[in-house]
Chain A
Amino acid sequence: MSETAEHTGHHIDVKEFHPRAQAAIHDPKIRKNFRSAMDGLMSKRKTAFEGWDLETLRDLGANVRLRALANLPDLLEQLEKKLTENGIKVHWAVDGDEACRIVRDICKARDAKTVIKGKSMVSEEMELNHYLEEQGIEALESDLGEYIVQLADETPSHIIMPAIHKNTGEISQLLHDKTGTDLSNDVEYLTASARLQLREKFMNADVGVSGVNFAVAETGTLCLVENEGNGRMTTTVPKCHIAVTGIEKVVPSMEDVSALLALLTRSATGQHITTYFNMISGPRKAEELDGPEEVHLVLVDNGRSSIYQDDELLDTLRCIRCGACMNHCPVYTRVGGHAYGTTYPGPIGKILMPHLIGLDEGRHLPSASSLCGACGEVCPVKIPIPDLLVRLRQESVDGDKLHPAKVRGHGAKRSSMEAMIWKGWAWMHASPGIYRFGTGAASKFRALQPSKAGAWTDYRTPPKLAAKTLHQRMKERGQ
């Protein structure tokens, strides 16, 4: 959020990553919930792509996204023109606050008191619910996972499965406490109870707010991917529908969508397709009997145009929000989604959030990765996530005039002590004679090697220096 933030949402201090990660690691329930969920999702994804030439499909996905990004300003204008022709009103917001105000103004103009919401990560990014509440407008989540998370006054811990950190017992207790349902471990019963509660809300809501998966410029179509039907309810039942989306979500044509859809659902949950693929190209026509009278699209920048400036960082904007990177991330699996303290957790969060909140606030994000590469390997649009993590690490420690800042908070992690250590390290390793002398001496006096080496030896024995280095042994062999 910008410094001019009119409202203060549920700010979680991103800087407190370590204590939260540690707490999660020592919480057997969190560990078990995430481990079993991620194991399941990984295996489903694998199965879902059987019979496909996955590499070629991912190449297509990457190219489709790159093509769209290459023409981004033109496509946005085309989208706006086409949507306007179709009767959808288009709004532009430079940041989350402006987007919130746009939504509020639309609500106020209709004298709306209640908003029902379909799943939208951008609205989480905007902290829209909190803002609307402050404005006296009730905002209720209707995606079951989001509904649960909202009842618990929490944030989603996964972008596709918001309540994945909770088990059935906890959800039963929560629904019992907040809505008076009976305590039960029967998921059917719990789901049916939520259906009844939310149907009432759909019928009475003044406005529906949803996200968008793909916005198609050629036909002026907003595409939404979902399983539950709450997205269709949200975009059909209330008289006014407001869709909010990031400016990067636009693609040229429905053909592009067919490629991305094939990748999205399989990568996300291992489904060949979701139950509903909802394509909205206009409000209710005069002769139609249902659908919203008004449809709005709020195009949200919120840092994206900054990412767009740099050729390498731009790849971040390819993301189609499938969550496969977090499903396959060994760090995310251990710490869960809440430890990050960011709207988007996991690998994509680590490369996206620094642009949204600044590298100062998100200082722990880029380093919280072993760079194992699992994320980049499964990304359906081939975002080189590990390379971008390294790039952001570089941005965090760069502090001199030679390196112009590309990311807000550039150099926030620079410490002169650490920089000096690396300079010393580089000097030694760029000087072979000094290196050989140093390593040779270390071997010779290896008995003096300390048995403690900081955080390493809290959990492991120290590596043992050999009696002779490879350099020495090769020299002895005459090589």
Chain B
Amino acid sequence: MVDPIKVYPAKPAKVYFYGTCLVDMFYPDAGIAGVELLEREGIEVLFPQNQTCCGQPAYTSGYHDEARSVARAQLDLFPGDWPIVVPSGSCGGMMRKHYPDLFKDTTDEVKAAEVAGRVWELTDFLLNVCHIKLEDLGEPTTVAMHTSCSARREMGVAEVGPKLLGQLKNVNLVEQIRPEECCGFGGTFAVRHPEISSAMVSEKVDALVDTGTRQFVTTDCGCLMNIAGYAEKNQKPVEGQHILSFLWSRTQGKGGSSHE
């Protein structure tokens, strides 16, 4: 757990947007949706073009020197004191929780801790810093939610997604069995232990399908790629998207708290 009690900042004029490499290459729509939601809240979004990856894949694989060299390249991207928002619990957790450890006893120790302290998971930021009010413009629908393990346990945002979805009046949120159980992604775990990972994701997909809904949303693109990819390959009737894409598409163009 990062901070037992989170101290949210006041709503800022600007934020740094840290897109993450998965969003960058595979799910840029989710990133754009996040940017649009922030801008609708009246926040100016700064996107450092020199951002690449938080370094987590190397970190969790045990290659800490490599992780550090990549992470170090991110530390200088946020010169102002604006919050850094991340559309991922996993990359957010890496930056918020693990950067201080990764740079401990190095010359970048202070900087890393300072950057880490400004990192927020984006949905958490929208709900608890922007106090976003969502106006649902969509047709009645049902959706399930999978909160990633790092969003839940490292960033402590398990309550956030359901609260945001709860603001959408035409959206019926259904809960799958064992919502807190891992989907089996785990980065390189999915390819190092493919049988175990697939046993986990197959049960996650079954749990989602059993709710009767045809769609789910999630906080993290790793889980999305895993769950939706498994469902597609095995022709299970459930599709997924990033929660930011879903929130933006339900409320597009209207409903922001500062533009009513």
Contacts and interface: CB of A to CB of B under 8 A. Distances in A.
Interface of A: 18, 21-22, 25, 31, 39, 55, 330-331, 334-335, 366-374, 376-377, 387, 390, 392-398, 419, 422-423, 425-426, 428-432, 435-436, 439, 442-443, 454-466, 468-471, 473-475, 477, 479
A343 to B, nearest CB: 21
B62 interface: yes
Interface string B183-203: 011111111111111111110
B141 to A, nearest CB: 24
Given A426-B66, A470-B24, A334 B196 contact: yes
Interface string B43-71: 00111011111010111111111110110
Interface string B169-184: 0000000001011101
B40 interface: no
Interface of B: 1, 4, 17, 19, 21-29, 31-32, 35, 45-47, 49-53, 55, 57-67, 69-70, 72-73, 101, 149-150, 152-154, 178, 180-182, 184-202, 225-226, 229-230, 232-234
A373 B149 CA distance: 7
A456 B194 contact: yes
Contacts of A368: 189, 192-193, 196
A372 B149 contact: yes
* B interface SS class: helix
Nearest to B87: A470
B196 A21 contact: yes
Given A330-B184, A376-B153, A471-B19, 6 more contacts: A334-B199, A432-B49, A435-B52, A469-B28, A474-B35, A479-B47
A463 B223 CA distance: 11
Contacts of B55: 429
B102 to A, nearest CB: 10
A429 B60 contact: no
Contact of A459 (B22, B154, B182, B230): B230
B60 A430 contact: no
Given A370-B186, A371-B186, A430 B229 contact: no
A425 to B, nearest CB: 7
A18 B193 CA distance: 8
A439 B233 contact: no
Contacts of A374: 149, 153, 180-182
Given A367-B189, A394-B62, A432-B73, A465 B182 contact: no
A330 B202 CA distance: 12
Contacts of B28: 466, 468-470, 473
Contacts of B65: 426
A367 B32 contact: no
Instruction: Give the 10 A-B residue pairs with the shortest CB-CB distance, closest first.
Output: A370-B186, A460-B229, A393-B62, A372-B182, A455-B194, A426-B66, A432-B50, A372-B149, A373-B153, A459-B198
A330 B50 contact: no
17 contacts: A367-B188, A367-B189, A367-B192, A373-B149, A373-B153, A390-B59, A392-B62, A422-B63, A430-B69, A459-B233, A462-B229, A463-B229, A470-B24, A471-B49, A473-B28, A475-B49, A479-B46
